[in-house]
């Protein structure tokens, strides 16, 4: 348990690494990732998150300076429905502005953030405005109506590959929209205008990065003759934003993989959203006209390390449960991001996490003429012409030519606990297991051949009853998915699940497509049921190496979800292949109540722990005797001692003392007694 919110992330990573080697879980208290929370509670205990491993030193705000910028002022936030814009609105509202105007063209995000702020800050007037920054008249009316003193411009298209395919929208939304806002802010006497920029504007290789650099140039050129202080703030990727790689990896994990990474050496700077917004507010309070401020992003992180860390946090294993696939860098992407170019001069500020890059401002008239030409080309929609004009505006803009094995620069990176790749070349099963599987497949084929008359008789009975097949097909849960890569081959019919979370967490085994005989169609079916042969088609699964002859019974999905929450050891039964027969199947115990399930689990766990050829032969001999004699299996003595939770699961109610006294004695723990029960 990590409860110190001031613990450096490097120490947290070391603790997580040692605990991972020892197979020990790590939990934290609320506030470790958000250092401004100040309060923790045991009820807020949670598992380690990726932001806990990437966090840096806490961001200390000069509250008086930020309060002086925002308190009692009318503040406008564009892109307020997005990840950065909504967090800006939340933190700005805590400083009690006179009015808070939320502007966005997407109504859903705007609706949610407006409702949230109205509930949390009833004393702050919050105005939701649906408007597109590309609409010059609409922007003009908004600023004329509300007369904001401070504008935070977070509205922008930010997805690099999408904007490479749609450069027209990048120009119209990012460049032209920013020009409309800059002109309106200057006309209506805005005191400070803050542009949310990106590290991709440094030596841009993408349309998105070049468009954001043009936005910075528009602010710098206008600041030379305006009373409005125009400030741009650059920072890198933020964890958890809508366009971040983390939600993408999480969705791929939920689908069962694979996780796609562009390049094994691809690196990015990451910050948490609250951390980035706090620094933006501090930079906004400090910035002077024409400044381009840069947030300290710490060290870069390998994208593949993030993927491996998320796999480990999900309780999975790379190469066994899920694969990582390298797809190559996409158009416009860099191998590593840069924070400044060689032509930019740095200047420190009084805040340790904020730097100023001094850039030469262009003449506004010539810049606006070139932007007008760019806008005309965007309306024509010619991607090649748009990129050529962007290259004229931003000479350092150059489209990358990716090599297959491009070398990464020697820069420090954050070493996450799961950064080490899994060892390759480890066989998934030994030769003994392979031999056993082949022998069981042969035996299953022989049994299917012997039982062929039963198959034919049931097929005839089914056809005469109007059914196409004597089989009932169903999905059951078999061995743990960690036995082999999930979904290495397509399944005939995917298992239905009520939620995505159940796919990776609740169901501990893979779905097996099974079949059993219909026993309600006539005398042949009743004879099959009397001789306990309704699961004879499971031999086909043995022939496909999906099941074994002896092992725990493959369970239905709803039963797995029900009993694994009640019986702590339930998941262990999935560590071996399910069987056509087994100790629990021949025990004669019911599977409809807690006591029967608990005792059947004890037989399954005994088999898992004492699995041997001798035990398999004894079990199959006992099964053959039951089938040939057509008798119900007599109750067998329980195998193992019950855990406290299992005793509670099977404990009688207060009024059932008489029935409780008639139940068998507590389970003997001796394995010798267990084997005697099997042989008897």
Q: Identify the domain boundary among 333, 367, 393.
A: 393
Whether residue 382 lies inside any domain: the answer is yes
Greater pLDDT, 232 or 500? 232
Domain match, 545 and 446 both: yes
Share of the chain above pLDDT 90, in %: 22
pLDDT of 78: 94
pLDDT band at 643 (very low <50, low <70, confident <90, very high): very low
Cis preceding linkage at 258, omega within 30: yes
List, by residue number, the catalytic residues. 200
Q: Give the tokens for residue 518.
A: 């219909």
- With a CB cutoff of 8 Å and minimum separation 6, the contacts of 336 are 265, 266, 267, 268, 300, 408, 409, 411
List C-alpha distances in Å: 20 to 31, 32, 254, 625.
22, 19, 22, 48
Domain match, 140 and 6 both: no
pLDDT band at 73 (very low <50, low <70, confident <90, very high): very high
pLDDT band at 295 (very low <50, low <70, confident <90, very high): confident
pLDDT of 588: 77
pLDDT band at 136 (very low <50, low <70, confident <90, very high): very high
How does DSSP assign 555-586, residue by residue? BPHHHHHHHHHH-TTGGGGGGS--EEE-TTTT
Q: How many CA atoms lie within 13 A of 652 on its CB side?
A: 10
Least confident residue range of 471-475, 515-519, 667-671: 667-671
Domain match, 187 and 291 both: yes
Say how far apart CA 30 and CA 35 lie, in whole Å. Answer: 9
Domain match, 142 and 207 both: yes
> What integer best gives the mean pLDDT of the chain?
77
pLDDT band at 644 (very low <50, low <70, confident <90, very high): very low
Taking residues 458-470, report their average pLDDT. Answer: 88
pLDDT of 144: 93
pLDDT band at 22 (very low <50, low <70, confident <90, very high): confident
pLDDT of 340: 58
Domain match, 80 and 177 both: yes
Q: Is residue 631 pLDDT above 70, yes or no?
A: no
Total domains in the fold of the chain: 3
Domain match, 372 and 456 both: no
Domain match, 351 and 235 both: yes
Whether residue 182 lies inside any domain: the answer is yes
User: What sign does the dihedral 448-451-452-456 (CA atoms) show?
Assistant: negative
Q: Is residue 102 pLDDT above 50, yes or no?
A: yes
pLDDT of 111: 93
385 by DSSP, 3-state: which? Answer: helix
Say how far apart CA 24 and CA 113 lie, in whole Å. Answer: 39
Domain match, 9 and 115 both: no
The runs of H, that is alpha helices, within 414-566 are 431-450, 452-464, 500-501, 523-530, 538-543, 557-566
Over the stretch 320-364, which tens digit does the pLDDT of each residue have? 778 888 888 877 777 776 665 555 555 666 666 677 766 777 888
669 by DSSP, 3-state: which? Answer: coil
Whether residue 641 lies inside any domain: the answer is no
pLDDT band at 417 (very low <50, low <70, confident <90, very high): low
Domain match, 93 and 198 both: yes
Taking residues 86-103, report their average pLDDT. Answer: 92
Over the stretch 421-454, which tens digit does the pLDDT of each residue have? 554 444 445 677 788 888 888 999 999 999 999 9
Whether residue 413 lies inside any domain: the answer is no
Residue 133 sits in a domain whose CATH number is: 3.40.50.720
Over the stretch 352-385, which tens digit does the pLDDT of each residue have? 667 776 677 788 888 999 999 999 999 998 889 9
Residue 172's domain comprises 63-241+268-301+344-393
- With a CB cutoff of 8 Å and minimum separation 6, the contacts of 674 are 606, 610, 637, 639, 640, 668
Q: Identify the domain boundary among 613, 629, 645.
A: 629
Domain match, 610 and 549 both: yes
- With a CB cutoff of 8 Å and minimum separation 6, the contacts of 512 are 475, 476, 477, 478, 541, 546, 547, 554, 578
pLDDT of 117: 93
Least confident residue range of 138-152, 408-422, 582-596: 408-422
Q: Is residue 47 pLDDT above 80, yes or no?
A: no
Whether residue 550 lies inside any domain: the answer is yes
Whether residue 94 lies inside any domain: the answer is yes
Domain match, 3 and 82 both: no
Q: Is residue 223 pLDDT above 60, yes or no?
A: yes
Q: Identify the domain boundary among 629, 653, 669.
A: 629
Whether residue 252 lies inside any domain: the answer is no
Over the stretch 264-289, which tens digit does the pLDDT of each residue have? 888 877 777 887 888 888 888 887 77
pTM equals: 0.59
Domain match, 26 and 67 both: no
Whether residue 247 lies inside any domain: the answer is no
Say how far apart CA 90 and CA 344 lie, in whole Å. Answer: 33
Taking residues 166-173, report their average pLDDT. Answer: 92
């Amino acid at each position: 348990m990590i409860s110190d919110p001031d613990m450096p992330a490097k120490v947290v990573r070391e603790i997580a690494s040692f605990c991972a080697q020892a197979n020990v879980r790590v939990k934290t208290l609320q506030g470790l990732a958000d250092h401004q929370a100040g309060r923790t509670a045991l009820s807020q205990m949670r598992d380690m998150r990726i932001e806990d491993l990437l966090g840096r030193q806490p961001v200390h705000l000069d509250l008086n300076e930020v309060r002086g910028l925002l308190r009692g002022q009318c503040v406008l936030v564009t892109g307020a429905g997005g990840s950065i814009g909504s967090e800006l609105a939340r933190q700005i509202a805590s400083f009690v502005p006179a009015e808070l105007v939320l502007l966005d063209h997407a109504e859903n995000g705007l609706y949610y953030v407006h409702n949230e702020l109205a509930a949390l800050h009833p004393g702050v007037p919050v105005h939701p405005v649906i408007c597109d920054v590309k609409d010059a008249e609409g922007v003009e009316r908004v600023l004329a109506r509300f007369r904001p003193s401070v504008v935070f411009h977070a509205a922008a298209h930010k997805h690099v590959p999408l904007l490479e395919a749609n450069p027209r929208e990048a120009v119209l939304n990012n460049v032209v929209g920013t020009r409309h806002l800059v002109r309106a802010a200057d006309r209506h006497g805005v005191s400070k205008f803050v542009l949310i920029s990106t590290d991709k504007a440094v030596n841009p290789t993408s349309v998105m990065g070049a468009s954001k650099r043009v936005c910075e140039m528009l602010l710098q050129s206008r600041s030379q003759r305006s009373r409005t202080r125009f400030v741009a703030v650059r920072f890198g990727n933020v964890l958890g934003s809508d366009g971040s790689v983390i939600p993408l990896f999480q969705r791929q994990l939920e689908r069962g993989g694979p996780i796609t990474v562009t390049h094994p050496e691809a690196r990015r700077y990451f910050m948490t959203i609250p951390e980035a917004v706090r620094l933006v507010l501090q930079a906004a309070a400090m910035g002077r006209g024409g400044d381009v401020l840069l947030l300290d992003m710490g060290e870069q992180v390998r994208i593949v390390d993030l993927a491996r860390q998320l796999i480990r946090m999900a309780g999975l294993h790379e190469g066994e449960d899920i694969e990582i696939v390298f797809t190559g860098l996409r158009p416009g992407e860099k191998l590593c991001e840069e924070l400044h170019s060689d032509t930019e001069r740095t200047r420190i500020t009084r805040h340790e996490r904020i730097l100023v890059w001094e850039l030469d401002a262009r003449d506004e008239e010539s810049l606006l003429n070139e932007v007008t030409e760019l806008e005309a080309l965007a309306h024509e929609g010619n991607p090649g012409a748009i990129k050529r004009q962007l290259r004229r505006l931003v000479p350092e803009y150059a489209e990358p030519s990716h090599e297959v094995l491009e070398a990464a620069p020697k820069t420090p990176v954050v070493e996450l606990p799961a950064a080490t790749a899994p060892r390759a070349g480890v066989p998934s099963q030994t030769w003994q297991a392979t031999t056993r599987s082949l022998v069981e497949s042969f035996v299953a084929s022989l049994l299917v051949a012997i039982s062929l008359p039963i198959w034919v008789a049931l097929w005839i009975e089914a056809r005469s009853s109007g059914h196409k097949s004597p089989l009932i097909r169903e999905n059951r849960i078999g061995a743990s998915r960690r036995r082999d890569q999930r979904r290495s081959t397509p399944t005939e019919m995917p298992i239905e699940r009520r939620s995505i979370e159940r796919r990776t967490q609740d169901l501990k085994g893979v779905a097996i497509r099974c079949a059993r005989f219909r026993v309600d169609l006539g005398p042949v079916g009743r004879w099959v049921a009397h001789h306990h042969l309704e699961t004879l088609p499971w031999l086909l699964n043995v022939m496909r190496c999906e099941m074994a002859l002896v092992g725990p019974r493959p369970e239905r999905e709803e039963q797995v979800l029900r009993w694994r929450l009640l019986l702590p050891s339930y998941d262990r039964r999935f560590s071996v292949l399910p069987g056509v027969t087994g100790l629990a199947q021949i025990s004669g115990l019911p599977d409809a109540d807690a006591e029967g399930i608990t005792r059947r689990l004890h037989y399954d766990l005994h088999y898992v722990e004492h699995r041997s050829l001798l035990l398999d032969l004894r079990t199959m001999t006992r099964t053959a005797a039951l089938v040939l004699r057509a008798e119900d299996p007599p109750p067998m003595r329980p195998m193992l001692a019950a855990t406290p939770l299992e005793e509670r699961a099977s404990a009688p109610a207060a009024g059932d003392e008489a029935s409780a006294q008639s139940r068998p004695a507590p389970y003997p723990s001796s394995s010798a007694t267990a084997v005697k029960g099997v042989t008897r």
